[in-house]
């Protein structure tokens, strides 16, 4: 079964690479994922803005990323359990997407909720340790003039609570957010059990800007692919 999944993922990358020939509309993909992936939550609202800095001290805002699809997640580097797994899931998604023309259309953004400890050097080392490619991935933290809880408040604006304990650990959930080219939050993928190919398919629909469904005379490639999964 694992072999079949690996083959299916490989075919998914090939299929996305020759989009938009095989492109489905966003509406079709949205409905398909509603029916088949319980970890997928469709959204259509203005994404909360942010202005933060990267490991080199360069300012990055959500507004500066307009024109690209943004895959956003929140972690902190001292997290001993789910954060490293989340980082590795993002790296897996990035590897799949970066084998396709979508590489230039997607920006992966990770925001730390512990800016006090997560210095520029820590951010750089964390990305390298978890296989994240800086070509289209950035790890953001608070600027020196922002309060220490500023990034936790940004996470809360996205519906994700990070509660800090006395030991420095934070209780929190795991969500991967997808923001479209116009700065609208379009989806949340909850936890770590969603199929990576589902997020790739959703992002592909956004990059193709196909909004209306179209008919198929026979089962589509994506239907066959989902059958394998």
Question: In this structure, what DSSP letter does residue 178 have?
Answer: E
Looking at residue 58, which CATH number applies to its domain? 3.40.30.10
Distance separating alpha carbons of residues 228 and 9, to the nearest angstrom:
10
- Across the chain, which has 229 residues, the per-10-residue mean pLDDT values are 47 47 70 90 97 97 98 96 95 96 97 95 95 97 96 96 84 96 97 94 87 47 48
178, 202 Cβ separation under 8 angstroms? yes
Give the structural domain span for 187: 2-228
Residue 22: per-residue pLDDT: 47
pLDDT of residue 159: 95
DSSP state of 47: P
What pLDDT is attached to residue 160? 94
What pLDDT, on a 0 to 100 scale, did the predictor assign at position 222? 47
Strand partners, 104: none
Looking at residue 24, what is its pLDDT? 64
**Peptide bond preceding 20: is omega within 30 degrees of 0, i.e. cis?**
yes
Residue 30: the pLDDT is 86
State the pLDDT at residue 13: 54
Half-sphere CA count of 56, side-chain side, radius 13 A: 4
Strand partners, 137: 108
- Neighbour count for residue 118 (Cβ, 10 Å): 23
| Tally of structural domains, the chain | 1
Q: What is the pLDDT of residue 218?
A: 43
């Amino acid at each position: 079964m694992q072999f079949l999944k690996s083959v299916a993922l490989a075919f998914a990358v090939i299929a996305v690479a020759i989009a938009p020939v095989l492109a489905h509309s966003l509406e079709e993909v949205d409905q398909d994922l509603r029916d088949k992936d319980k970890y997928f939550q469709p959204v259509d609202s203005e994404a909360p803005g942010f202005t933060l800095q990267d490991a080199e001290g360069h300012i990055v805002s959500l507004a500066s990323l307009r024109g690209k699809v943004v895959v956003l997640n929140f972690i902190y580097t001292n997290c001993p359990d789910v954060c490293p797994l989340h980082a590795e899931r993002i790296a897996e998604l990035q590897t799949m997407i970066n084998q396709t023309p979508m590489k230039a259309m997607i920006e992966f953004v990770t925001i730390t909720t512990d800016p006090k400890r997560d210095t520029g050097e820590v951010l750089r080392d964390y990305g390298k340790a978890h296989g994240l490619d800086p070509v289209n991935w950035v790890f953001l933290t608070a600027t020196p003039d922002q309060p220490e809880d500023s990034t936790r408040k940004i996470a809360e604006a996205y519906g994700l609570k990070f509660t800090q304990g006395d030991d420095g650990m934070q209780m929190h959930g795991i969500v991967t957010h997808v923001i479209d080219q116009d700065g609208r939050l379009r989806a949340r993928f909850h936890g770590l059990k969603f199929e990576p190919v589902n997020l790739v398919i959703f992002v592909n629909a956004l990059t193709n800007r196909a909004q209306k469904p179209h008919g198929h005379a026979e089962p589509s490639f994506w239907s066959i692919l989902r059958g394998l999964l």
